[in-house]
Chain A
């Protein structure tokens, strides 16, 4: 953590949960130039951090730790509504059983700097995709509702409707560019899970 002034807050925050101190320091060193890096030596410590209200974008969780395992820490954090993306760092190649655990990405040890950065980038991109998809979907629903209530002439004259169309086009382009991560098994399930989570967070919409 190099800076603690206001501008540091604009960097995305990565929480590294790893019991081996050397690995913790290494990841921190690799990431410190682009991210606000927080570290925890075990699951309980990580939970305390998020309970103190620290906003976290990405959490790296070691699979095997003393105390809470990576999987247990993940489910505790999800239960507490932590809206971060989670990567599991594991010594074994992920198979369907691991994907079942609900991580958004997997990193197999030994982790190198490029792969660590790639994984965080792709998690950030998943997030950007699901945010854009949320907004796009709610605006499309709004558009359909307007179309059933107003005549074509009314819509053609409406500035608000024109703005809606413009924003929809922008979001469509964003979605085209953003990598949803759905190309691989874990990313696909992660993208679908964020739809499920969105449903739990918000009131059911009129449809």
Chain B
């Protein structure tokens, strides 16, 4: 089903992704990106931006940061940005509320439809933000249903969790709703990244910059 792949239709996680065995992922794969503070967000952004380089579409569900800031995070000023569509769940937006999952789903449908491309990367930035409005069982089911959608459509999905804010039992439970996890941690030399959950990818830390 999902996992590392060398097929032509694989999604490339980008040149900066340090785990060679996991850099190319089969369509339909979902990844949870975990790390402290903004590290997971940075890794997810790099994975999504690699989609632009591959002429794919990108849809981001944004929770904590408003859509305008998110767009600025992901795009280059003055360059074309119609490859990116946002579903804005931030408090001050008029988008769907994060606890109205049917409405979030409709927003996602419309965003995907608007991109009009068969290759799409979706990002939930962040799942931490959704957990302010959902309990862990609701968040789990949400991720599971989204995974099904991604699997069916042959997309690539990422979602981020800030491990400073979410207890480890919840992280470990939510991991089960994804095909694999990209973990980020910091040691005295800098940031490290590893991939967990794919049989053909060794679970070892790699320097990540």
Question: Which A residues are closer than 8 A to B by beta carbons?
Answer: 96, 99-100, 102, 133-134, 137-138, 140-141, 143-145, 147-148, 175, 180, 182-183, 185, 188-193, 195-196, 198-199, 204-205, 207
Is B54 at the interface (CB under 8 A from chain A)?
no
Asked whether, in the complex, the Cβ of A99 is within 8 Å of the Cβ of B153, the reply is no
Name the B residues within 8 Å of A196 (CB-CB): 99-102
Q: Across the interface, do A141 and B106 meet the contact criterion of CB distance under 8 Å?
A: no
A182 adjacent to B152 (CB under 8 Å): yes
Asked if residues A207 and B170 are in contact (CB atoms below 8 Å), the reply is yes
Please state if A189 and B109 are interface contacts (CB–CB under 8 Å): yes
Report the minimum CB–CB distance from B135 to chain A (whole Å): 4
Interface SS of chain A: helix
Interchain CB contact under 8 A, A102 and B102: yes
Stretch of B59-67, B77-85, B143-151, B179-187 lying at the A interface: B143-151
Are A192's CB and B110's CB within 8 A? Answer: no
Measured CB to CB, the residues of B under 8 A from A are 99-102, 104-106, 108-110, 113, 135-138, 140-142, 144-146, 148-149, 152-153, 169-170, 172-173, 176
> How far is A100 from B109 in the complex, measured between Cα atoms in Å?
11
CB distance from A165 to the nearest CB of B (A): 12
Q: A137-B137, A207-B136, A207-B137 are in contact. Are A192 and B109 (CB under 8 A)?
A: no
CB distance from B176 to the nearest CB of A (A): 6
B136 / chain A contacts, CB cutoff of 8 Å: 141, 207
| A199 CA / B100 CA spacing, docked (Å) | 10
Given A182-B148, A188-B145, 5 additional A-B pairs, CB 8 A: A134-B141, A144-B173, A195-B101, A207-B135, A207-B136
Given known pairs A140-B176, A141-B137, the reply for A100 and B148 (CB within 8 Å) is no
> Which residue of A102, A143, A183, A188 has the most chain B CB atoms within 10 A of its CB atom?
A188
The answer, among A99, A143, A192, for a CB contact under 8 Å with B104, is: A192
Residue numbers in B under 8 Å from A175 (CB-CB):
144
Contact across chains for A183 and B149 when beta carbons are under 8 A apart: yes
Could you tell me the distance between the alpha carbons of A188 and B123 in the complex, rounded to whole angstroms? 17
Tell me whether B170 and A189 are in contact (CB under 8 A).
Answer: no
Q: How many whole Å from A127's CB to the nearest CB in chain B?
A: 14
Q: Which 10 A-B pairs have the closest CB atoms?
A: A183-B152, A193-B102, A182-B148, A192-B101, A192-B105, A144-B169, A182-B149, A189-B105, A207-B135, A207-B136
- Which residues in A have their C-beta under 8 angstroms from that of B100? 196
CA distance A106 to B152 in the complex (A): 19
Which of A99, A102, A144, A192: most chain B Cβ within 10 A?
A192
CB pair A188–B149 under 8 Å, yes or no, is yes
State A134–B137 Cα separation when bound (angstroms): 9
Contacts of A189 in B (CB 8 A): 102, 105-106, 109
Does B106 lie within 8 Å of A96, measured CB to CB? yes
A-chain residues with CB within 8 Å of residue B108 when the two chains form the complex = 188
Docked Cα-Cα span, A191 to B135, in Å, equals: 17
